[in-house]
Amino acid sequence: MLIDCPHLVVPGKKPRLSKRRTDEKGRFKDKEQAIAAAKENLARLDELQEVLYASGSASVLIVLQAMDAGGKDGTIEFVFSGINPQGCRVSSFKVPSDLEKAHDYLWRIHHEAPPRGMIGIFNRSHYESVLVERVKKIAPEKVWSKRFRHINEFERLLADEGTLILKFFLHISKDEQKERLKARLADPRKHWKFNPGDLEERKLWDDYMAAYEEAIEKTSTEHAPWFVVPSDRKWYRNWVISDVIVRAMEKLNLKYPETRIDPAKYKVK
């Protein structure tokens, strides 16, 4: 489902990440104005999620991808802070287990796809198989290059079966990542978030940008579009993502299920 948004990657177009600003603030004069607008979105999202859960007529899949310290956890914490946790599930995909390695790479992903009535959030996703596995040469090109087609067909299947798919790349600058990693080292409360391996990954920044460029270009489709969200300003990131989700869910025309009872016949004493 395509949503009118300046950060949408139109299917068939190159995302040109190097040309996209990471510090945009859109129509907002300041941080407070954006936060107020985002909170309005959260109130509406709460209403929409309740109807989604009650109707069980569709499901929603949110895919979040970013470089280390890109803000995936912060996005989840803010954007989904007001909804009923019974109707939402977050799935994080780390290094595959031995059991997962014994299956195709989409096996564990499909298992986590949201059922009808639910919002599913992927904190990292099946795209790791065309990003990390490509950059770190875990899989050869003849293997990962075929996966764009697999992914498009997999997402087409989910969409055909009633899943709204929205994919967000949280686009931060290399300088902003540096500041966020330094902040993790400076604050004892954030030490647990610091991974020394992130410094090695940082050295591969250009390789990752090339991998993201191709992955986004080849898998942004009408049924599963990509949005490249400027994310140096967390408050703008939160507004963009909440706004896109709300407007997309409104297009589902969700309705509460018809009642099977006549309320007038009952009286609670």
Domain limits, the chain: 8-255
Instruction: Give the global pTM.
Output: 0.96
When pLDDT is averaged across residues 88-108 and rounded to a whole number, the result is: 95
Alpha carbon 158 to chain centroid, angstroms: 16
CA angle 205, 100, 110 (to 5 degrees): 85
In the predicted structure, residue 110 carries a pLDDT above the cut 80: yes
| pLDDT-based confidence at residue 259 (cuts at 50, 70, 90) | confident
What pLDDT score was predicted for residue 197? 87
How does pLDDT run across 206-246, given as a tens digit for each residue? 999 999 999 999 999 999 999 999 999 999 999 999 999 99
| pLDDT-based confidence at residue 93 (cuts at 50, 70, 90) | very high
When pLDDT is averaged across residues 111-117 and rounded to a whole number, the result is: 97
Cβ partners under 8 Å of residue 45, min gap 6: 79, 80, 82, 83, 242, 245, 246, 249
Domain 8-255 in CATH 3.40.50.2000 = no
| pLDDT-based confidence at residue 253 (cuts at 50, 70, 90) | very high
Between CA 239 and CA 241 the distance in angstroms is: 6
DSSP string, 57-78: S-EEEEEEEESTTSSHHHHHHH
| pLDDT-based confidence at residue 50 (cuts at 50, 70, 90) | very high
| pLDDT-based confidence at residue 123 (cuts at 50, 70, 90) | very high
What pLDDT score was predicted for residue 220? 98
Q: What percentage of the chain carries pLDDT values higher than 70? A: 100
Burial of 217 (0-12, 13-18, 19+ CB in 10 A): middle
When pLDDT is averaged across residues 234-262 and rounded to a whole number, the result is: 95
| pLDDT-based confidence at residue 267 (cuts at 50, 70, 90) | confident
Average pLDDT, the chain: 96
What pLDDT score was predicted for residue 170? 98
Burial of 168 (0-12, 13-18, 19+ CB in 10 A): buried
In the predicted structure, residue 1 carries a pLDDT above the cut 80: no
| Dihedral, CA of residue 66, residue 115, residue 247 and residue 9, to nearest 10 | 40
DSSP collapsed to 3 states, 7-37 = CEECCCCCCCHHHCCCCCCCCCCCHHHHHHH
Q: What percentage of the chain carries pLDDT values higher than 90? A: 92
What pLDDT score was predicted for residue 265? 85
In the predicted structure, residue 263 carries a pLDDT above the cut 90: no
| pLDDT-based confidence at residue 262 (cuts at 50, 70, 90) | confident
In the predicted structure, residue 143 carries a pLDDT above the cut 80: yes
